[in-house]
Structure 1
Amino acid sequence: MQQPLRFGIIGCGKIAPRHAAQAVLHGRLTAVCDIIPERAQALAQPYNAQAFFSVDEMLQAGLCDVIAVCSPNGLHSPHTIAALEAGCHVLCEKPLSISTADALQMEKTAIAAGRKLFVVKSTRYNPALAALKELIRNGSLGELLSFQLTCLWNRPAAYYANSWKGRLDMDGGTLFTQFSHYIDALLWLTDDELTAASGYRRNHCHQEEIEFEDEGIAAVQLSKGVWGGITWSVNSFRKNMEVSLSLLGTKGSVRIGGEYMNRVEYQLLEQGSLDIAESGGPNDYGAYQGSMSNHDHVYLNLVKALADGEHPFANAKDGIRTVSAIETIYKSLSLR
């Protein structure tokens, strides 16, 4: 009889409970780790998991088959590499890393260790986005001509207080922490890579809180020649405003939007339609809201991908593509 999967979690912050709740539906949560003991103990206790305060000690205990890396962005690479070298499969929260070089080393380590490396791309399971992917796949949009991605959220000063968020070495930037899901959505839908960018970015309202931009606008080009614009900000008044993506093709035009890219706002197609009602809600953290909570779909497909190497699930290459795109934008747009 096959033994249930043993899950571990590195980093017991705000997203970790989402992982814990899903892990116990597909196996056992056997270990959690955080440098803040109270945080680790609080997550471990409801699941009778063992709490660790050192990543090395947790991995040396050999209690896990799969590790969910939920630590700060800047620690994704070392924590993932350590878990892979310890013989564990890894599900890394977004972004995979905050540098392409680190992401490539993570992939190389997974191959050498014979382990699987996955990355959380929960937005791909938004019904509107999944339906649009199928529409593009079957040719209903025709040749893609251009796009516009707009990400307008609210992140007050309190969000960054006493946190790794806002630090360049741990956070990486607004596109990494707030909007990497939607950069991934663009690249996933178009099955393409971002190769060039120009534009502007600045820190206009958070000069005391963060070490990078709080808003930006970029003209970008994909490798197949399609171009478009990306506009982003965390200065929306009081609450998140929208994340929208408009696609113009030779056979139709579509815009999906809402606060979390979760509803169809416009469509005019030569054939077919997107018959999707607004669905789902965000990860709600009280003082602010994040992307839609689709970790149930993430874990369901994680288990399938572990059992079947051909099952489609976001892997290291998907993560690298997003990291590379954001790095290209940041290297091309000087901070003002």
Structure 2
Amino acid sequence: MESVVSKKNFALIGAAGYIAPRHMKAIKETGNNLVAALDPYDGIGIIDSHFPEADFFTEFERFDRFVDKWRRNTGKKIDYVSICSPNYLHDSHIRFALKSGADAICEKPLVLNPWNIDQLKIIEEETGQKVYNILQLRLHPSIIALKEKVQKELAENPDKTYDIDLTYLTSRGKWYFISWKGNEAKSGGIASNIGVHFYDMLCWIFGDIEENIVHLKTADTNAGFFKLKNANVRWFLSVNYDYIPEEVKAQGQRTYRSITVDGEEIEFSGGFTDLHTRSYEEILKGNGFGLDEAYGSINTVSTIRNLAPVGLKGEYHPFCKKVIG
């Protein structure tokens, strides 16, 4: 456990969001303190399980004033601002953190476009603060094991090309399309919302994207093909329950996640729950994933958003036939 002296002070933006409890838990489990939280929605009883003493705000202006006054009145500072707000607000909230003298810990996607990262690098230099992105798949034991295996194989055969199928379906109800998540201008679309950390993980293991093709692009489904330095990837992402395999539906499940490498399934369904705490542990040691690590996957989703779909041509994912029969 951290000693009292070394406790870090946190603020959290987007406290009522789906992912915020994992951040609260990570702050608590690393022995630190949540000073203030912000969310326009005030039904936030979850905070009682973690930090009942934290100040809470529903208006950004009052939160901003509190953070500034707290620093001046107590002689302390907010060391980190954890950002769990809607995707399109990340850029602005990261800027707020840096200009408030804090490091930013931001959920993925870090921002919606690569040029936002270029600007944030300038603000990092101006303020001397750091931006960290939660890329928790890089800390997953199964993914680390896969990376080590691939590195070993590529050391022996540098020209090897792997064939990969990425399939991720996470069913969402009608609410999804009414919320900010269903608005491409706010979420970045399906690829940004649910695909960005998978793209990051694949490029981390198999190298940068050399070719990017989109086969399908609808409100609830994106599918396409990547040529990476050492892999060909067919990918399919959807929030539509109808596309989930029948045998998975029969088990009462509404999510289906599969990555096959050369026909072999990579098992990584478990082990997700504590990865935010692991991420925080690394960030607190100064080992977090910064702007440079985030750049590739943000560039990828930005490109996907702007590419016209080519339809069922070339190396498309077999699930595409579920959409276009």
Q: Identify the TM-score tier after normalising by the shorter chain.
A: 0.7 to 0.9
Amino acid at match of 1:320: Y
Matched, 1:16 2:26: no
* 2:147–2:205 CA contact under 8 A, matched in 1: yes
Q: What are the within-5 Å matches in structure 2 for residues 110-121 of structure 1?
A: 110-121=124-135
TM-score, with structure 1 as normaliser: 0.76
**In percent, how many aligned pairs have the same letter?**
23
Gapped runs of 5+ residues in structure 2? 72-76, 312-325
- Distance in 2, Cα, partners of 1:134 & 1:42: 38
- Aligned pair 1:280/2:271, yes or no? yes
Shift of 1:113: 1.2
- Displacement, 1:202? 2.9
- Deviation, structure 1 residue 219: 2.3
Query: Map of 1:34-183 to 2, 5 A cutoff?
Result: 34-39=39-44, 43=47, 46-47=50-51, 48-53=53-58, 54=60, 55-61=63-69, 62=71, 63-139=77-153, 142-143=157-158, 144-160=160-176, 162-183=178-199
Aligned length: 284
Letter in 2 for 1:294: L
Describe the shift of the 1:101–1:149 C-alpha distance in structure 2 as closer, same or farther (beyond 3 A). farther
Deviations 1:250-277 (A, max 9, x none): xxx85414xxx44xxxxxxxxxxxxxxx
Structural mapping, 1:121-270, within 5 Å: 121-139=135-153, 142-143=157-158, 144-160=160-176, 162-190=178-206, 192-203=207-218, 213-222=219-228, 224=229, 226-235=231-240, 236-237=243-244, 239-246=254-261, 248=262, 255-257=265-267, 261-262=268-269
Q: What is the aligned-residue RMSD (CA, Å)?
A: 2.6
Alpha-carbon separation, structure 2, partners of 1:174 and 1:161: 11
Determine the structure 2 residue equivalent to 1:7: 10
Q: CA deviation at 1:159?
A: 4.4
What is the one-letter code of the residue matched to 2:296?
A: R
Paired residue secondary structure (1:138): helix
Query: When the two structures are superposed, what TM-score results if normalisation uses the length of structure 2?
Result: 0.78
Structure 1: gaps of 5 or more residues: 204-212, 263-278, 282-291, 306-310
Task: Provide closer, same or farther for how the CA distance between residues 25 and 89 of structure 1 changes in structure 2, counting only shifts above 3 A.
Answer: same
Quickly say closer, same or farther: Cα 1:241–1:302, change in 2 above 3 A: same
Q: CA deviation at 1:75?
A: 0.4
Q: Is the 8 A contact 2:164 2:234 kept in 1?
A: yes
Q: Which amino acid aligns with 2:221?
A: E
Greater share of residues in strand: 1
Indicate if the aligned counterparts of 1:8 and 1:64 stay in contact, CA closer than 8 A: yes
CA distance in 1, matches of 2:131, 2:193: 20
The structure 1 residue matched to 2:298, chosen from 312, 315, 323, is 323
Structure 1: how far apart are the matches of 2:308 and 2:120? 26
Name the amino acid aligned to 2:205. Answer: L
Residue 147 of structure 1, CA deviation:
3.1
Instruction: Answer yes or no: is the 8 Å Cα contact 1:122–1:293 preserved in 2.
Output: no
